[in-house]
A and B are shown apart, each in its own frame.
Chain A
Amino acid sequence: MLAFILRRLAQSIIVMAVVALIAFMLFRYVGDPVASLLGQDSRLEDFEELRERLGLNDPFYVQFGRFIGNALQGEFGISYRLQQPVSELIISRLPATIELAFASATIALVFGLTLGVFTALKPRSFASGVIMTLSLVGVSLPTFLIGIGLIYVFAVELQWLPSFGRGEVVDIGGWRTGLLTETGLRSLILPAITLSLFQLTLIMRLVRAEMLEVLRQDYIRFARARGLSKRAINFGHALKNTMVPVITITGLQLGSVIAFSIVTETVFQWPGVGSLFINSVQVVDVPVMAAYLMFIAFVFVVINLIVDILYFAVDPRLRVGAGRR
């Protein structure tokens, strides 16, 4: 177990190092950081002085080392566009994104699993046919159109729910949450549904495919031949085996909800890190882009680690070595 986790940890560190390298290259070689900081009409001496002060004349590895050192302390420089420290910008916008991602991940997981299991257990029923067709429509609808559609129906026509922003937020120890006010919760509904739909259909189709595969296995036939009840076979034997492959992919899908929120945040003008990133891309605000990349990589690595540990708990073939005898 320890060796397993240590190996995964080592892999995670390598991944982070690679992403850090990409982020650094981005930071260092895309555009000219000095020009971005000083503006057009500065003197040549100012450029040279700033280059020296920022350490841009140091050898590559020294600069990369300093970048990593700073990154470990959460230090990513100053945004070209907003002239604020990047870490502050990200931290102030993080609660909005995390609350949105969490809400949609929950929706995607609960409905994706239930519908996936249902369509696998009743593959020939009419309801399954409808659900499968709808899911195909779901993957064909771009996220931004779902958002626009929901805004049009529920905000413009019916005027039930707000079309943009987070509503009122409450500050709890630096964490500005929208979950405690009525307007905050109402504002969350449409973006959360928008963001969850794509993942929902993916999870549903995945669960369905895996479960159909499991239901074809010999051990399910053998369980039937032993006269076990339908319940025990479907939910005891089949579902548990379905979970083994589903955990990995679902975990990663949920992780990507955070990155996916870029689009949703833009449509709903949700003040999270995603809209921060998209605004930075448009004006090539490199420090923010680099920091966002590192942040997403970190989320991915953490989720991967959790997935591996879950996997380990579910599958005895990993836990207990074979052939003790």
Chain B
Amino acid sequence: MSEPIISVRNLVVEFPLRRGLFTAVDDVSFDIMPGEILGVVGESGAGKSMTGAAIIGLIEPPGHIASGEIYLKGKRIDNLPPEEMSRLRGKWIGMVFQDPLTSLNPLYTVGQQLIETIRRHLPMNEAQARQRAIDLLDEAGIPTPESRIDSYPHQFSGGMRQRVVIALALAAEPELIIADEPTSALDVSVQAQIIKVLKKLCESRGAAVMLVTHDMGVIAETATRMIVMNKGKIVETGSVGDIIKRPKEDYTIKLIEAIPSIKDETRRHEAPPTSTLLVEVKNLTRDFDLSPGFFDRLLKGAKRNVVKAVQNVSFDIRKGSTFGLVGESGSGKSTCARMLVGLIKPTSGQVLLEGQDIAAGLTQERRQKVQMIFQDPYASLNPRWRVADIIAEPMHALKLVSNRREAEDRVADLLRRVRLDPVSMRKYPHEFSGGQRQRIAIARALSSQPEFIVCDEPTSALDVSVQAQVLDLMRDLQDEFGLTYLLISHNLAVVRQMADDVGVMHSGVLVERGPVDAIFDDPQAEYTRMLLNAVPDISKVE
């Protein structure tokens, strides 16, 4: 058996905080073998990123390694002086960060950044380093690298930038790459390509990878061995197949159960949808005028630039059903949602609620019957308001209650229905966790007794286990109140679990729609097929 690249022994990372010491990483030990891809998975706050940062010696102060050892090929590195450690970075251990848009210095060309890194670690002159930089970009899948090497980061798309970041991390042939959520900021289709590039480049060089992610699907498709972390501790270690198919620990079992899969439909509501149509969307179109100012058009000859965010979209939603609208970023699905609730005026087209056009008039009725749940529960609740006031606002605004007493009783009832203690109505939003805030947002949406709720990515800011709880709550409430949902999501698995019917959007156009099982099992549109193939999913593990 060969020697491990990295050995972590009893690592403890601590953060002295105002209210005491926070142990981010607690007694963690593991090895990474040469050429191996080790997945590290966990929910937010599990300490997985901090473990990676500890290995490469980049923990932000006041955090620090309190005890334990880290060995690189048998040599202890956690106690090296800063200058020596900095020479190890890039040369022996490379790192890839989450957000490609902020990982590159905007003021230097990608070539300058590559050459600088290469020459820091390898004995090369400018010309040799430049040639090597071009080769690296080529390997990372950047077309015509000879001309692109002198471009600035802002001239690349997000996916292309992440390829540059990977090329940079590999510039001096490190033996280990720590990839911290390398694809979480990217769209599904780009994500698949980036995983492929990362895997190919590391394989061809025999570099090991420590893949840190919250997405079990990515690990299932990429890694061979994995570690499950929770609250700073390692819960379970084993082969990817074993852990996903046969988890041993309670925490892992619950985690795997909570992860939605595009093959699974467990969270669909029980009450069968009726056949009456509640919402009809007809030829909905929205243009955004992004033309440069008059002066630029005059001087630079810049053209008028009208973006068709949503083009001619039509679909129906049956009363009591859930309609899932999926698509990648920029597909126009959120614009659609905002037009349905009246936050954006459509350029043309109609939205009918029970046969009456709500895009044009009927505002009072729309306001009462149509509600919305937003993506970010941290931004959708006013931080300066008490929970009681937040939930009661629709009742007061729409004059559904006559006095404060009545409003308070209704708020208490709503809090119970979303499984929160009525006492919490006196508190402020910052005293709650993300999942609890989303429950408060749901209670606010319910407070006007709506029939139709538009849910715009309601769980994408949440951890998987919390996501499962919120989705279950949404399903229960649907059965209880006979609600109709429009569920907007980039997460295909969530839509498969929740929706009766589904529509797929791409560049502002609805490319396909139909019953959810038909679309997922037998997609007709080319784009839908590509999307379904690209999704990293735990069902794909052997």
A and B, direct touch (CB closer than 8 Å): yes
Spell out A's residues near B (CB within 8 Å).
2-3, 6-7, 10, 217-219, 221-230, 232, 236-237, 240-241, 244, 314-317, 320-325
Contact B299 A225 (CB under 8 A): no
Contact B299 A7 (CB under 8 A): yes
- Return A197 CB to nearest CB of chain B, in Å: 32
Within the assembled complex, what's the spacing in Å between the Cα atoms of A225 and B178? 10
Closest to A219 in B: B105
- Return B186 CB to nearest CB of chain A, in Å: 15
B121 at the interface (CB under 8 A from A): yes
Can you list 16 pairs linking A and B with CB atoms under 8 Å apart?
A3-B299, A219-B103, A223-B105, A225-B58, A225-B169, A226-B95, A226-B171, A227-B87, A227-B88, A227-B89, A232-B116, A232-B120, A241-B107, A315-B107, A316-B107, A324-B155
Contact B299 A228 (CB under 8 A): no
Within the assembled complex, what's the spacing in Å between the Cα atoms of A316 and B107? 6
Residues of A within 8 A of B171 (CB): 226
Closest to B91 in A: A227
Residues of A within 8 A of B205 (CB): none
Known: A241-B106, A316-B107. A222 touches B95 (CB 8 A): yes
Closest to B160 in A: A325
- Return B268 CB to nearest CB of chain A, in Å: 40
- Return A238 CB to nearest CB of chain B, in Å: 9
Contact A218 B99 (CB under 8 A): yes
- Return B209 CB to nearest CB of chain A, in Å: 14
Of A10, A226, A323, which one neighbours B90 at CB under 8 angstroms? A226
Contact A322 B155 (CB under 8 A): yes
Closest to B85 in A: A227
Residues of A within 8 A of B151 (CB): 320, 324
Of B95, B154, B168, which one neighbours A322 at CB under 8 angstroms? B154
Of A10, A226, A316, A323, which one neighbours B295 at CB under 8 angstroms? A10
Contact A222 B154 (CB under 8 A): no
Contact B106 A317 (CB under 8 A): yes
- Return B353 CB to nearest CB of chain A, in Å: 40
Contact B90 A316 (CB under 8 A): no
Residues of A within 8 A of B295 (CB): 3, 7, 10
Within the assembled complex, what's the spacing in Å between the Cα atoms of A228 and B116? 8
Residues of A within 8 A of B97 (CB): 218, 221-222, 225
Spell out B's residues near A (CB within 8 Å).
56, 58, 82-83, 86-91, 94-95, 97, 99, 102-109, 116-117, 120-121, 148, 151-152, 154-155, 157, 165, 168-169, 171-172, 295-296, 299-300
Residues of B within 8 A of A225 (CB): 56, 58, 89-90, 94-95, 97, 169
Residues of A within 8 A of B91 (CB): 227
Within the assembled complex, what's the spacing in Å between the Cα atoms of A320 and B154? 9
- Return A65 CB to nearest CB of chain B, in Å: 25
Within the assembled complex, what's the spacing in Å between the Cα atoms of A241 and B154? 15
Contact B102 A219 (CB under 8 A): yes
- Return B128 CB to nearest CB of chain A, in Å: 18
Of B86, B102, B299, which one neighbours A224 at CB under 8 angstroms? B86
Closest to B114 in A: A226
Contact A226 B155 (CB under 8 A): no
- Return A324 CB to nearest CB of chain B, in Å: 6
Total residue contacts A-B, CB cutoff 8 A: 104
- Return A320 CB to nearest CB of chain B, in Å: 6
Contact B105 A237 (CB under 8 A): yes
Within the assembled complex, what's the spacing in Å between the Cα atoms of A78 and B228? 84
Residues of B within 8 A of A7 (CB): 295-296, 299
Contact B155 A227 (CB under 8 A): no
Given contact pairs A2-B299, A3-B296, enumerate 8 new A-B contacts (beta carbons under 8 Å): A7-B295, A221-B58, A221-B97, A225-B58, A225-B169, A228-B116, A315-B107, A316-B106
The 7 closest A-B pairs by CB, nearest first: A227-B90, A227-B89, A225-B95, A3-B299, A218-B102, A226-B90, A316-B152
Within the assembled complex, what's the spacing in Å between the Cα atoms of A113 and B152? 27
Contact B104 A222 (CB under 8 A): yes
Closest to B157 in A: A323
Closest to B112 in A: A236
Within the assembled complex, what's the spacing in Å between the Cα atoms of A315 and B88? 32
Closest to B95 in A: A225
Contact A320 B152 (CB under 8 A): yes
| Most chain B C-beta atoms within 10 Å of own C-beta, residue among A217, A226, A322, A325 | A226
Known: A227-B87, A227-B172. A222 touches B299 (CB 8 A): no
Residues of B within 8 A of A229 (CB): 86, 120
Known: A10-B295, A228-B120. A240 touches B107 (CB 8 A): yes
Within the assembled complex, what's the spacing in Å between the Cα atoms of A227 and B97? 15
Residues of A within 8 A of B106 (CB): 219, 241, 315-317
Residues of B within 8 A of A240 (CB): 107
Residues of B within 8 A of A6 (CB): 299
Within the assembled complex, what's the spacing in Å between the Cα atoms of A316 and B300? 18
Within the assembled complex, what's the spacing in Å between the Cα atoms of A112 and B74? 48
| Most chain A C-beta atoms within 10 Å of own C-beta, residue among B82, B87, B107, B157 | B107
Closest to A243 in B: B107
Within the assembled complex, what's the spacing in Å between the Cα atoms of A315 and B108? 9
Contact B105 A241 (CB under 8 A): yes
Residues of A within 8 A of B155 (CB): 320-325
Within the assembled complex, what's the spacing in Å between the Cα atoms of A228 and B82? 12
Residues of A within 8 A of B90 (CB): 225-228
Residues of B within 8 A of A224 (CB): 58, 86, 89
Within the assembled complex, what's the spacing in Å between the Cα atoms of A40 and B84? 85
Closest to B109 in A: A316
Within the assembled complex, what's the spacing in Å between the Cα atoms of A241 and B102? 13
Within the assembled complex, what's the spacing in Å between the Cα atoms of A264 and B109? 46
Residues of A within 8 A of B157 (CB): 323
Of B83, B108, B116, B300, which one neighbours A3 at CB under 8 angstroms? B300
Within the assembled complex, what's the spacing in Å between the Cα atoms of A218 and B154? 15
Known: A219-B102, A316-B154, A322-B155. A228 touches B107 (CB 8 A): no
Contact B89 A226 (CB under 8 A): yes
Known: A230-B86, A317-B154. A222 touches B103 (CB 8 A): yes
- Return B123 CB to nearest CB of chain A, in Å: 15
Closest to B299 in A: A3
Of B94, B107, B296, B300, which one neighbours A226 at CB under 8 angstroms? B94
- Return B303 CB to nearest CB of chain A, in Å: 13
Within the assembled complex, what's the spacing in Å between the Cα atoms of A190 and B403? 70
